[in-house]
Structure formats: C-alpha cells, structure tokens
Structure 1
Amino acid sequence: MTATVRAAVKTGIENTEILEFPVPRVGDNDGLLRVEASGVGGSDPEMYRRENTAPCVMGHEVVGTVSEVGAAAATRWGVKPGDRIALHEYLPCWHCHWCRQGDFRLCMEADFFNVKDRFNTLRYGTCNADIAPHLWGGFAEHMYLAPNAVIHRIPPQMSARHATMAVPLGNGVQWAVFDGGAGIGKTVLVFGPGQQGLSCALAAKVAGAMTVIIAGMSRDRARLDLALELGADISVDVEQEDLAGIVMRATGGAGVDVVVDTTGDPDGRIAEQAVSLAAKGAWLSLNGLGASVPLGEVKKRYLTVRAPRGHSYRAVQTALDIVASGRWPIEKLCSHDFPLTQVHDAILATAGRGTEGAIHVTVSPHREG
C-alpha cells in the first residue's frame, strides 16, 4: 500500500479536488477499508451545494474490503482482512437506549437533526476532513474504520455496486415496512420514484403488500415504468392522470393503509393529499407538514404520522438480504458508475444535471477514469 490515499474532497460549493492524505495508522480498536464502491445518496446534492461544509470527503453508502484491522476490532466486528463489508454512515455511542436496540439513527451522537454541529460531528460522508485521520467518506481509495463504526458483512460474490443499495433500500425497508407497517394485505402509496421511492415500493412488495401505488411526474416516466419491475402494481403520472381516482378505485373507496413521501414536499401539498387518500387507521411517513394539512382529519381518520429519517441495523441487513436473494432486478437501480476523478459529475447526475437517466449512481475509486 502506498503511503498516501487519494480522495475526492469537496473544497467549496459544488467543487471537488483530488487530494492525498496519509494512510491512517491502525491500532488495536480500528481498521482500514479499501473502498470498492460508494453510492451517491439522495441527500448528497444538497450537501454538495451547502455553504460551510468544506473540506469534506463525501460518500456515505460505502462498500469495501477490510485491508487492516486491529485485534480488538476484529473480535468486536467479527471480521478479518479480506472480508467484505457495507457501512452505515452513523458513528454512534453504542451504549444509549437507541444503540442497544440497533437504532443508531436516533443516538444523540449520530442523530443528524439533533447534533449541535453537523459538520464537525463524526459521521461518514459529512464530516470535516481536517479532523484526523481525514478519511471520513467513501469517495476515496481507502477509508478509516472508526472503533464505533456500524458494519454488515456481505458475501464474496455480491456486486459492490449492488451492495451500495444497502442504505437507500434500507431506508425503504425502514420507512415503508418497519415504520409504516406495510405488509400482507396492505395497500401502499409512495410519492416520488427516485432511489428512495423505488426502494420503498420494492420493500413494501417484499413484505407482502397487496397493492403498491407509486406516484411521480411526467419527467419520471422511465422511473415509473421501472417501478413496475420492482414491485409496484400501479404507477401514476400525476400530471396526466387522476391520482385520487386511481387510488380510490384500487382500494374500493377505502383509501390506502400506508403512505410514504420521499419527495421533500416543501409546501405541504403532498402531506395534505396523503391525508385525503389515507384509510382510517393508516400510517403516514411524511416529509412536509404544511399549514394547510387538516389536522382535524388526522384525528377523525385516526392516522399515525411520522417523518422518514434514516435506517436501523435490521433495516439495512434486510435490504442486503433482498439484494442477495437475486429475485429483483437491482442492477436496473444501479444506473451509472463514475471513477474517483469524476465525483463532481456523479453528484450532479444524482441531482438530474448533466447525465440522463440517473437513479442510483456509484463512485468506484479504483476504476480507471
């Protein structure tokens, strides 16, 4: 191994440079990962254009091979050099109520919505690269495995690019199934056919949902068509079709049991529509709750409302099991792959800029550019 590691570093707003960092020294409690592939998450374009978040090695959907590991870490993680793993972005405390349940997203050391300083908090893909040992993201040839890292072992034969779906598909499992209750006999409505929405549709169908409906815009036609291959029963172009009419026909007028909004919904319109299309007792996972949402309807319909956020250990492991099953065309989600020198293009592609047809984009740091 060379004495330095190349990494794509965000050095300014929508600007990336290839820089070199010293190879971290591995002690008894930590390790080093040779990155095979790192997915570009749906939140990465926002991070990329945000002020005051540089320097940063982005990339939080990481898959790689353990190249070095300390003795204590090897025992704790159950890994050895040569083993392949997928990482969570979380670097939690491991001793709080939430960590002991495997729900690291809610640990106060890792909870993105509650930490005092997101940029200087240790978390893969968003951490300040000035903090030693610097390699806190997957857009690098190697990455530091911190003592509190959360890992999953993956099979030797699993495609690294497919395995990077662990986090977005894990979100789908969490939001639609574990938090939303999608399962046998349930009807599910998903807003947004991006990587998260497609993952929600797939997770709901794997869980046994009777009818999965996914809604998008006219520009999403290719993704809406793909949704039908990934478990959705009905896809709806809301600009050309009557979503409410389709939902009510599909549910016999009762409304859906589960709603998941993956769009962001800045003005609350989807939240309002979700309430109107929900069955009595439905579970809603909503990104925006605008002032126009009729809270009286929430009470009258006995609805449970949550916000989609992150994933538990069980959700990510379930996602990896879905990938490993070979039953679903995961390769169609993994639309584009870029070398380390084109991280800028990879992030813009995820934002729908410069590259057509991008769904889940990956960066393969050792690929020749």
Structure 2
Amino acid sequence: MGKGGMSHGDAGEEENMAAWLLGVNNLKILPFKLPPLGPHDARIRMKAVGICGSDVHYLKYMRIADFIVKEPMVIGHECAGVVEEVGGEVKHLVPGDRVAIEPGISCWRCNLCKEGRYNLCPEMQFFATPPYHGSLANQIVHPADLCFKLPDNVSLEEGAMCEPLSVGVHACRRANVGPETNVLVMGAGPIGLVTLLSARAFGSPKIVIVDVDDARLSVAKKLGADETVKVSTSENDTAAEVERIKEAMGGDIHICFDCAGFTKTMSTALLATSSGGKVCLVGMGHNEMTVPLTAASIREVDIVGIFRYKNTWPLCLEFLTSGKIDVKPLITHRFGFSQEEVEAAFETSAGGGNAIKVMFNL
C-alpha cells in the first residue's frame, strides 16, 4: 500500500474514505488518497473486513512490540472485496471478480523470499502494521498476485476469514499435523478456534482445547473439539491441570498449539506434550517468559515458532469450497461503515464477551 497520506480526491470523483487510527482509542473515518494503479495492481472495493486482536491492540496502545504507530494509519487487514480495475499486466482478474486478499507484500529479493519463506521478509509491507496503511476503506490498491478469486460458493465474509484461517493452516503445516497426530490447543479465542478447524481438516483424529472461559469452550465443542478442559490463570494450578489435560486426551499429545502465548500456557504446553512431540507458539501474549525448557528438551520436545503464514490462500479456499472447514459460525457480530458503527464494532471486539469475529460489511 505504501504510505499514501490523507488528502482530498479530485472534484467530481467519489471520495475514498477509510478508518484512520489517530491516537489511543481514537478512530476517525477520513479521506484516503489511493496510490496510482501500477501494471501489476488491482483496485478493489472493500466489502468485508474483520477486526483482529492486533487491530484492537494498536487502538488501545498504539504499538505492538517494536511496531509503533507514529503517524495516522488506516486500520484493518482481514479483508475481501470486488475488483474495480486492474493494471495492464494483470491476466487472472477482471473487474467484478470477488477476491480474498493476502495483506502482506514481501520484497521477493531477499534470501528468505527466494527460499519461499516470504512471511519472514524483513522488508514486509503488511496492512495496518506501521508505517503501512490497512484496508478498512471503501477502496484499496494492492498487488493483483495477492488477490485470490473466490469460488462461487464462498461468500465475501468467508473470503475475509481466509486471513485468520491462514494462521491455523500455516501452524498445522509447520507442525505436520496429520491422521496420526493428536492435537492440544491452548486458548479458544479466534486463533485457537481456526487452529482447531485447521487441525481437523488436516486429519487430526483427536483434538483437546483448553481455555479459562466456559462460553469459549462451548463454542469450541460445537466446532468439533473432542474434549475441552477449563483451566485457571493461576500458575500454582499448572501441575494438576496438566494431569487433567492428559486425561482428557486419553493418549499421546503429539502436537500442542499455544494460541495464547503466556508464561502459564507455554509452561502447560511443554509439560503436557508427549516426549518427542512438538509445541508450536502461535499466540504472542508475553514478550518474555520463564518456562521449563530443560525438562522439555531432555524429552526432545521441539519448539516451533509460527509467524503469520505463507502460500495459504489457495488451500484455505479449497477447505471452504469443499466444506471441510466452515468459518461462518465464527462471525458473531456485523457492523456497517459509519463513524458510530466503527467505534461500536471495536468496542464489541475489545469487550470479549460472546464476540468471536466482528465483521464490517461495507
């Protein structure tokens, strides 16, 4: 997207508006001038944009780790829309096509990109990660190769859900989930739930999910978790909880996905995972943690890092088209695109409660 600034469009053309993050708890719908359409770009009218935990975090704190919002930024990165115009070199899309959008533009020149691990590109330009603008706008311009045509039986909302679903799919690929791997998921928030759905689609025969909240666990059960375990936030309960988790699995725990990323969840994951298994750190709750690494390493428990995703959209769309994954139950709230509704939507998402995925319909 680049860093296009706020300014007014030419008289006579419809003004492109976007949701700008201006300061802590300060979101305003203001004009958003689009960059010119390059030969390999597409201009897309946004139709469905989801709210992610990272969007809420930027709104509350203006930073995530070392990513700091220093100037006004358009928010949003889980999105789908309709192609309005394509550059001269674009062959696979025409105006009117419905597309799901992969939000990160990598450089394609560094060693990581050349090795295919473009999600780790140091030059990554990712929607709504400062200083790059996001996609909660009437229209955006984006490289056409990152726009994936939606099959007829996949809605625009489901297209927008490909972004969070991609995290679960990438995690399952990194962990080699299959028909012989029992899976433990720590955390039944949106990412824990898409990881659960992905693990089942990858063939896992038994999935246990753990959370502190009864309502979230009942959603996980409806989405197909074999067993759920309610835990506390107290680190004094870890040993007893590990036993309850093992009991619920009733067999080896081959892979654990920590979708919360706190000291306690990671400690629980390392202790519960069977010898020779894997723990994948998906969530980013704590920047630093003190965990029982030595005890895990002498049992050859591998720790796998997960950052976003790569080359996941075609598989996500395949899962949605075939019905192997149904993301529709995750969308709990819908809002329009007005100043009032944008503020209400972020409040709903931040409030937790029964909100899983809050979606804008533009």
Number of equivalences: 335
Matches within 5 A, 1:277-296: 277-286=272-281, 287=284, 292-296=290-294
Q: Give the drift of 1:283.
A: 0.9
> Which whole-Å CA distance do the structure 2 matches of 1:317 and 1:98 have between them?
21
> Which whole-Å CA distance do the structure 2 matches of 1:104 and 1:154 have between them?
23
Q: Deviations over 1:287-344 (max 9, x none)?
A: 458654222212211011023320111x332222222223444221011111122222
From 125, 135, 159, give the equivalent of 1:163: 159
Matches within 5 A, 1:78-157: 78-100=92-114, 102-110=116-124, 122-128=125-131, 136-146=133-143, 150-157=146-153
1:262 maps to amino acid: C
| 2:351 is the alignment partner of 1:337 | no
Aligned residue for 1:306?
A: 304
Contact 2:334-2:361 at 8 Å conserved across structures: yes
From 205, 210, 222, give the equivalent of 2:215: 222
Matches within 5 A, 1:65-76: 65-72=82-89, 74-75=90-91
| 2:295 is the alignment partner of 1:297 | yes
> Which whole-Å CA distance do the structure 1 matches of 2:293 and 2:130 have between them?
38
1:339 maps to amino acid: G
1:162 maps to amino acid: E
> Which whole-Å CA distance do the structure 2 matches of 1:194 and 1:291 have between them?
21
% identical aligned pairs: 29
> Which whole-Å CA distance do the structure 2 matches of 1:96 and 1:13 have between them?
35
Q: Give the drift of 1:24.
A: 4.5
Aligned residue for 1:349?
A: 348
Query: What SS class does the counterpart of residue 279 from structure 1 fall into?
Result: coil
Structure 1 stretches of 4+ moved >4 Å: 287-291
- Closer/same/farther in 2, CA of residues 88 and 103 from structure 1, 3 Å limit: farther
2:310 maps to amino acid: S
- Closer/same/farther in 2, CA of residues 157 and 101 from structure 1, 3 Å limit: farther
Q: Give the drift of 1:259.
A: 0.8
> Which whole-Å CA distance do the structure 2 matches of 1:101 and 1:259 have between them?
27
> Which whole-Å CA distance do the structure 2 matches of 1:328 and 1:123 have between them?
26
Contact 1:24-1:32 at 8 Å conserved across structures: no
- Once structures 1 and 2 are overlaid, which stretch shifts more, 18-27 or 203-212? 18-27
Aligned residue for 2:65?
A: none
TM-score, normalised to structure 1's length? 0.83
Q: Give the drift of 1:251.
A: 4.3
Matches within 5 A, 1:201-240: 201-217=196-212, 220-239=213-232
Aligned residue for 1:115?
A: none
From 23, 26, 40, give the equivalent of 2:37: 26
> Which whole-Å CA distance do the structure 1 matches of 2:20 and 2:348 have between them?
17
> Which whole-Å CA distance do the structure 2 matches of 1:274 and 1:201 have between them?
16
Aligned-residue RMSD, C-alpha: 2.4
Long gaps (5+) in structure 1? 111-121, 130-135
Contact 1:168-1:199 at 8 Å conserved across structures: yes
Q: Deviations over 1:52-83 (max 9, x none)?
A: 524111111110111011111x13xx212111
